[in-house]
Amino acid sequence: MPFNLNLSSKIYVAGHRGLVGSALLRRLQAKGYTNLVTRTHAELELRDQAAVQAFFAAEKPEYVILAAAKVGGIYANNTYPAEFIHDNLVIQSNVIHSAWQHNVNRLLFLGSSCIYPKNAPQPMTEECLLTGPLEPTNRPYALAKIAGIEMCWSYNRQYGTRYMAAMPTNLYGPNDNYDLNNSHVLPAMIRKLHLAKLAQAGDIEGINRDEATHGIIPADLKAKLLESCTLNLAPDVEPCPLPLEPDVVLWGTGTPKREFLYSDDMADACLYLLEQSEDKLDSLFNDEQPPLVNIGCGEDLTIRELAELVAEVVGFKGTLTFDAGKPDGTMRKVMDVSRINALGWQRTMQLKDGIALSYQDMLSKI
């Protein structure tokens, strides 16, 4: 079908409530797009093939952004590998196939930098895909995302579709997941240091409000927090003296290097890709390479440096300790973003500023 995206085009954003999808929705609305289609999980179960097909038949979206996925950090990937591979394979298969069946003009599939080999040359180019073994800790999720890329490419080659796959680096921003068991490294770090700051101030009520909003605090961590801020039961007595330097324990050695991109920058990049002309994107659609584009900033820092930056933003004054007995994951992951830069896009948000905005968003929900 011809490319004719305009502000009244019907665009379906799958997964609009998560970190990625909500950023996409904000960006689309900010640019003036008026015909946006969304469904909550309760309204449309994307793992249900018949329901997805019925939705596409009824709504007939012209463009699709597939941001719906089961995501999580190292702990979640290790604990629920079956759900990570099954749910993601089923969701993307249902949506991509229905998009083809109902003549969607253009589809953008969102993946992750974990698709690249564990020991890929750094920075990682799109050509690194399938050139070596994956990081074991998130292999099921990565394989599902690789299958989604292959599916987009296969439909392009067989049916002449124009489906693209965008691979963002580690994302953070408004509406992030702060569950300490299932979140990614940056939101988990923000919350841990916020809780430690509350403990430092003896704010038991604040800790309880945080837990009610952002999920259960692991029992061992909560016990440590409460020990640091125990109040004297007498109502007219001030909180007991607190440790001057409460200790926050973070997973791993602190030496791995990671790249982080603010979610609104990611959304801007995705919409930029969706809006480009056929001629500008022509090099993505061929029989030699998948229609794959990295989205990132091309800069990284160590996990220890990240923790120190988060502590500065949050206002935590205590000690940071790293548990070397916990897994580090891949030692370095940074995207080569020359392809999307050559198309004319670059990020705008600096990391410290983005962390500050994310922290304020987290606090606003408590």
Diameter over CA atoms, the chain? 76
Decide: 250 and 322 in contact? Cβ < 8 Å. yes
Distance between the two ends of the chain, CA-based, in angstroms?
Answer: 46
Take residue 317 and report the two structure tokens written for it: 């004054």
Residue in 141, 172, 178, 262 annotated catalytic: 141
How many beta carbons lie within 10 A of that of residue 18, not counting itself? 18
Helix axes 49-59, 81-101, angle to 10 degrees: 30
Take residue 238 and report the two structure tokens written for it: 């001030």
Active site residue 163: no
Q: What separation in angstroms does the CA of 176 have from each of 173, 210, 358?
A: 6, 14, 8
Q: Which residue has the tokens 């969706």?
A: 274
Decide: 268 and 27 in contact? Cβ < 8 Å. yes
Distance CA 247, CA 176 (A): 25
Would you name the residues annotated as active-site residues? 141
